[in-house]
Amino acid sequence: MSVAIDALRPIRAVATDAPKRPWFGTLLLTLVTALVVFWVLASQSGPLNLEVHGVVDSDPQAVRAATIGYLDAGLFKVSPEAVERSLEALPWVASAQVSRRFPDRLLARVAEHRAVARWGDSALIAGDGTIFSPPQASWPSGLPRLDGPPEARQDMLKQWAVLMETPALGDVELNALAIDDRGAWTAELSDGVQLRLGRTGIPERMQRFAGPVRQALAERWQAVATIDLRYTNGFAVGWREPPQTSERN
């Protein structure tokens, strides 16, 4: 018995040309062009919406007033750099970044100054030494006060950071620090007592005050007005004026 197996013969495929559709490419190009034109026209017309992130101390009304004049332009007509400059002109704003978001939105991210102290009577100072003057109603409460020439502000920030490591002062706190044109330092406590610290060895003199000087004056502390710590082996005390008593006839 035999089995016959036919050899497989290759099938020859006959290629046929697909019917050409020249109208399809034209239609697709027309649709894409129409979408692009619509997108551009929609982006050219206002008004725009503005989304701002990072505002903490800035007045929202001031932010609105600084930017609203740019929102009537279209998305591609408005200048993000111009909006950034307007935001950075606000006293609390350190920097701003503005970007476009299709179809009708601007996204702004602001970084605000972080005030670490008051600078004199009318300004604040940030941790990087920037002095700025926002409305006093927006000032954080409880800030210490620094007074000195503007060129000394970095030294003052460093000195303040060092003095804040002074051991506990009991029921008083360090409230203010000043340096005069000659480089002499004065500190003020929360109860108004002034410490004259001189020009050198400021941290050591503060530590001496926090230890033996504070203990020596504990019983008469309410009468102390100033303490001069510039002496090597001692200190001098200025006393408060006694309250005036009225005499009766």
The 10s digit of each residue's pLDDT in 136-167 is 999 999 999 999 999 999 999 999 999 998 88
Mind listing the pLDDT tens digit of every residue in the chain (249 residues)?
222 223 344 445 445 555 556 666 777 777 766 665 555 555 556 689 999 999 999 999 999 999 999 999 888 889 999 999 999 999 999 999 999 998 889 999 999 999 999 999 999 999 999 999 999 999 999 999 999 999 999 999 999 999 998 887 888 999 999 999 999 999 999 999 999 999 999 999 999 999 999 999 999 999 999 999 999 889 999 999 875 554 443
Per-residue model confidence as pLDDT tens digits over 193-207: 999 999 999 999 999
Residue 16 inside a domain? The answer is: no
Last residue in a domain, options 86, 112, 138: 112
pTM of the prediction? 0.79
Last residue in a domain, options 112, 139, 154: 112
HSE (CB half, 13 Å, CA atoms) of 1?
Answer: 0
Residue 213 inside a domain? The answer is: yes
Q: Do 60 and 129 reside in the same domain of the chain?
A: no
What number of H helices and E strands is found in the chain? 6, 12
CATH number, domain with residue 198: 3.40.50.11690
Last residue in a domain, options 96, 112, 128: 112
Residue 227 inside a domain? The answer is: yes
Which DSSP category does 238 fall into?
Answer: E
Residue 87 inside a domain? The answer is: yes
**pLDDT at residue 171 in the model:** 87
Expressed as residue numbers, the domain containing 219 is 116-239
What values do phi and psi take at 223, rounded to 5? Answer: -95, -5
Q: Do 75 and 172 reside in the same domain of the chain?
A: no
Residue 134 inside a domain? The answer is: yes
Q: Do 131 and 105 reside in the same domain of the chain?
A: no
Residue 79 inside a domain? The answer is: yes
Number of domains in the chain: 2
